[in-house]
Amino acid sequence: MMSDDGATVTREKVEQYLALTAEARAKATPITSTDEDAARLASMMRMCDDYQADAKHFLEQGDLVRAFGAINYAHAWIDAAVRIGLMDGHGDDRLFTLP
């Protein structure tokens, strides 16, 4: 949890966001209709996966601030793909900013 003032990042908070992002990654499904869109989506999901891996690395190193930042970037890549219509978020407005 974060402290009452919201300024402290904890291991638990990072782990919560890692789990949330993993859930979003598993739920969102591709809805591309062209090879170009499929390539764009693949690039976005590589960025998501790379940032997620970075978050795990930073967490292992005890660098909670960088871990928290990286996992939020990872989730943003999935969210953006849903928002612009390259993935279907299946109506889940808890995991995604729906179009």
**Is residue 5 situated within a structural domain?**
no
pLDDT value, residue 7: 75
What was the pLDDT predicted at 44? 98
Residue 98 belongs to some domain of the structure: no
Amino acid identity, residue 12? E
Per-residue pLDDT of the chain (99 residues; tens, 9 = 90+): 344 556 789 999 999 999 999 999 999 999 999 999 999 999 999 999 999 999 999 999 999 999 999 999 999 999 999 999 999 999 999 999 987
What angle (nearest 5°) sits at the alpha carbon of residue 39, between those of residues 73 and 55?
A: 20
User: What pTM, to 2 d.p., does this model score?
Assistant: 0.89
Residue 56 domain-assigned (yes or no): yes
78-to-3, 20, 26, 74, 95 alpha-carbon distances in Å:
28, 11, 10, 7, 9
Look at residue 94 and tell me if it is in a domain.
Answer: no
pLDDT for the residue 1: 39
First to last CA, the chain: 30
**Is 1 within a domain?**
no
Q: Is residue 99 part of a domain?
A: no
- Tracing tokens 């997620």 back to the chain, one arrives at 52
How many structural domains does the chain have?
1
Q: What is the CATH number of the domain that holds 43?
A: 1.20.1270.90
Distance from C-alpha of 3 to C-alpha of 48, rounded to nearest angstrom: 27
Q: Is position 67 within any domain?
A: yes
Cα separation, 48 vs 60, in Å, equals: 18
16 within a domain of the structure (yes/no): yes
Q: Give the domain range for residue 44.
A: 11-27+34-88
